[in-house]
Amino acid sequence: MSLFVAQILNSFQLGALLFLMSAGLTLVFGIMNFLNLAHGSLFMVGAYVGATVAAKTGSFTIAIIAAIVATMLLGVVAERTLLRQLYARDHLDQVLCTFGLLLIANEAVRYIWGPSPVFINVPAMLDGTVRIFGQNYPAYRFAIIVAGIVVVLGLYLLISRTRLGMLIRAGANNANMVSALGVNIKFLNTVVFALGAGLAGLGGLLIAPLVSVQPGMGEPILILTLVVIVVGGIGSIRGALYGALIVGLIDTAARVYMQIGLLQIFERSVGQAIGPAIASMLIYILMAIVLAFRPQGLFPVKHG
Amino acid sequence: MRIKATLAGLGLCALSVMTAQAQTTQPLKIGFLAEMAGIYGAPGQDQYDAFMLAVEERGGKLGDVPVQIFKEDTQFKPDVASQIVDRLMDREKVELFTGLTYTHIALAVYKKINDKGGFMIASNTGPAPIAGQGCVPNFFASTWQNDQLSEVVGKYAAEKGYKNVFALAPNYQAGRDFVAGFKDAYGKPLLDEVYTPVAQQDFSAELSMIQAASPDAVYVFYPGALGVNFVKQYHQAGLSTIPLLNTATTESINLPAQGEAAMGAVNGSFWGPDFDNDTSKHFVEAFEAKYKRIPSQYAAQSYDAALLIDSALRKVKGDLSDKDAFRAALKEADFKSLRGDFKFGNNHFPIQDFHIFEAYKDGKGRMNVRRIATPMVQAQDKFAAQCPMK
């Protein structure tokens, strides 16, 4: 029972992180029809900037602000100068260009911060455990869950209660019509891109105290993020939220229960050998099934 | 007459110039093959720094002959290592190699170097094939056989009487080998063993499994950055009350990043910076003064490799042309090792003690390790019997 509770919390923690990444990616795709593979690089830059600022100032709060501001600025510059030219091109051009940016970003951080990983510590306040449902759980991981919930609520209010949110929803539905109605769609695009970049940067910073900050750290999370938005439905914030929770749950649960389950069927050494292999495949199997039977995703944007 | 004398004089001059050149421009060439950059680069850097420390202390000489070091980055790629060996042996006439940071690199080049008459002193690997049936006369290890590093921890766990041990490692050959070695020496079935994908950095699910299983002790093999992440997350999950036994995880290279999260964790090794013999004390002092960090075991075994080369070259007066004499000189291992007693077994791997080290905060406020037990005394690896060499 306690293992079950802990795994649910773990899956929420991974889900929160995936949501921060996929919200931006899915909005950019939904509104600008633009596939940004360099989204993982923003995650990496957020982690590096946050880790550097945290080490210099000793303040995690300042590091959060620095990571968000730096990635938003980077996002705006990239969008204004380069990516905007690609909105009208087909997806292959976009993928090639942003893949190039991803490689450049990896080499750039290697040049600036060196090839060795950078480590930062969990803020002292969150270094320890909290008790949830009779279960000791790392306080910092719980804080990531809380941060995820705050962002979900914030985005919900922004999108459903504000004028900007209304424009974003309209843009996701029909960008040409929004433009024809006299809305400055270029400005809207930049705002959406900056918002997505900032969320990715926040995600990178939040994970930095748990893992090593190193060149290329954005790619594994980018791949999971692509799975999330395919499963959830491309362009849909709601899809990103549910997709992130589903992928978080399956990935976390599979790592634990796959092996336990296989040990019931096979002998020990076999179960231990194939358990990890199948567990890491499971979310891709899910994605393949969704693509085959429900290509619009499980929670697509509602039209009309 | 005068002309003859002048010519003779010129001839003498030329002769003396030539011999002088022969003495100054022909240093003994040594190829240093290691990983120098990236996430695998830290051990290679420590190996190189320690080796060069020994060379500099001897005024650029080993065994009283000037040496020239060819520092080559093998980039973690066996094919790259193989090309480097070809180039160094064919073009530069290098006959002596050291470094060899990783098992797959050593396996890719050791036969070739041996067959071409070259010698190698591996200062970070001890692959089972080279220790056993595949042993060759010109390969010497200043290290250990891989399995011994986890056997010593398994012995320690058995001595401590831990009943339920939970083991974790990355899901690749070395990870499985270390857990197998641990299990062998521990002698009882493990509570559970879990293998995580090699690139996985977040251990949330596995830590929850440990928490639910509540073992007496946990054994892990997570080298480098993985080890930093694991130990920090282990501490954050409130598991620090369960003893953390490990191979290559809480060691000098990782301790600065792990900080107090590593406190009390124990790892198995052949040497630690608290060793009391003169070589070790001198080495630790000189290394810290020059590089401003605590030397790791990678540095220690490379410093020993330099001392071994120094002793053997002195015996043959820097002349590698008599292969049998140089091989015999290496085999004698006539030097004061920083690990204390040192001798080679039939397979040219050391017969030595293995110890358990605990992570603690030293007098200067740094995270460091100190010896707390010596479960294996003058141990020889289990593959030596399969090696046909005498």
Q: Is residue A275 part of a domain?
A: no
B32-49 pLDDT, tens per residue?
A: 999 887 667 788 999 999
On the question of pLDDT at A248 being above 90, the answer is: yes
- Which positions ≥6 away from A15 have C-beta within 8 Å? A148, A244, A245, A247, A248, A249
Q: What is the pLDDT at residue A279?
A: 81
A67-96 pLDDT, tens per residue?
A: 999 999 999 999 999 999 998 899 999 999
On the question of pLDDT at B22 being above 50, the answer is: no
Residue B208 to residue A256, Cβ atoms within 8 A: yes
User: Per-residue confidence at A304, pLDDT binned at 50, 70, 90?
Assistant: very low
What average pLDDT does range A252-265 have in this prediction? 80
User: Per-residue confidence at A115, pLDDT binned at 50, 70, 90?
Assistant: confident
What average pLDDT does range A263-277 have in this prediction? 75
B250 and B306: one domain?
A: no
B44 and B30: one domain?
A: yes
Q: Is residue B4 part of a domain?
A: no
Position with higher pLDDT, A123 vs B174: A123
| Structural domain span for residue A101 | 2-215
Q: Is residue B280 part of a domain?
A: yes
B324 and B232: one domain?
A: no
Q: What residue spans of chain A are helical by DSSP H?
A: 2-32, 39-57, 60-81, 91-113, 139-161, 163-173, 175-180, 185-207, 218-232, 237-253, 259-265, 268-293
Cβ contacts of A284 on chain B, cutoff 8 Å: none
Q: Is residue A304 part of a domain?
A: no
Q: Is residue B15 part of a domain?
A: no
B103-143 pLDDT, tens per residue?
A: 889 999 999 999 999 999 999 988 889 999 999 999 999 99
Q: Is residue A228 part of a domain?
A: no
Q: Is residue A274 part of a domain?
A: no
Q: Are B129 and B105 in contact (CB under 8 A)?
A: no
Compute the half-sphere exposure of residue B5: CA atoms within 13 Å on the CB side of its CA. Answer: 2
Q: What is the pLDDT at residue A143?
A: 95
First to last CA, chain A: 45
Q: Is residue B384 part of a domain?
A: no
Q: What is the pLDDT at residue B5?
A: 55
A199-230 pLDDT, tens per residue?
A: 999 999 999 999 989 999 999 999 999 999 99
Q: Torsion angle, CA of A236/A241/A243/A248, rounded to 10 degrees?
A: 160
What average pLDDT does range B85-101 have in this prediction? 94
What average pLDDT does range B43-71 have in this prediction? 94
| Nearest residue, CB atoms, A272 vs list B193, B199, B206 | B193
Q: Is residue A107 part of a domain?
A: yes
Q: Are B165 and B190 in contact (CB under 8 A)?
A: yes
Q: What is the pLDDT at residue B10?
A: 53
Number of domains in chain A: 1
Reference B217, options B247, B250, B241; nearest CA is B241
Name the minimum distance, in Å, from the CA of B63 to any CA of chain A.
35
* Integer Cα distance of A255 and A278 in angstroms: 9
What average pLDDT does range A232-256 have in this prediction? 91
B39 and B126: one domain?
A: yes
> Which CATH number is B210's domain given?
3.40.50.2300
Residue A14 to residue B202, Cβ atoms within 8 A: yes
Structure tokens belonging to residue A168: 């974003």
Q: Which of A270-284, B256-270, B357-371 has the lowest mean pLDDT?
A: A270-284
On the question of pLDDT at A185 being above 60, the answer is: yes
B264 and B368: one domain?
A: yes
Position with higher pLDDT, B62 vs A277: B62
B91 and B201: one domain?
A: no
For residue A273, the chain B residue with the least C-alpha distance is B195
Would an 8 Å CB–CB cutoff place A125 in contact with chain B?
Answer: no
Q: Is residue B16 part of a domain?
A: no
For residue A137, the chain B residue with the least C-alpha distance is B237
B159 and B87: one domain?
A: no
B209 and B159: one domain?
A: yes
Would an 8 Å CB–CB cutoff place A14 in contact with chain B?
Answer: yes
B152 and B109: one domain?
A: no
Among chain B, residues having any CB pair with chain A shorter than 8 Å are: 37-39, 41-42, 171, 193-197, 199, 201-202, 204-206, 208-209, 211-212, 225-226, 228-229, 232-233, 236-238, 257, 259
Cβ contacts of B229 on chain A, cutoff 8 Å: 210-212
User: Per-residue confidence at B11, pLDDT binned at 50, 70, 90?
Assistant: low
Residue B208 to residue A7, Cβ atoms within 8 A: yes
Q: Is residue A179 part of a domain?
A: yes
Q: What is the pLDDT at residue A169?
A: 83
User: Per-residue confidence at B376, pLDDT binned at 50, 70, 90?
Assistant: very high
B44 and B129: one domain?
A: yes
On the question of pLDDT at A254 being above 50, the answer is: yes
Q: Is residue B351 part of a domain?
A: no
Number of domains in chain B: 2
| Structural domain span for residue B136 | 24-144+275-344
* Integer Cα distance of B320 and B67 in angstroms: 13
B257 and B231: one domain?
A: yes
For residue B195, the chain A residue with the least C-alpha distance is A276
B213 and B76: one domain?
A: no
What average pLDDT does range B165-185 have in this prediction? 90
For residue A248, the chain B residue with the least C-alpha distance is B205
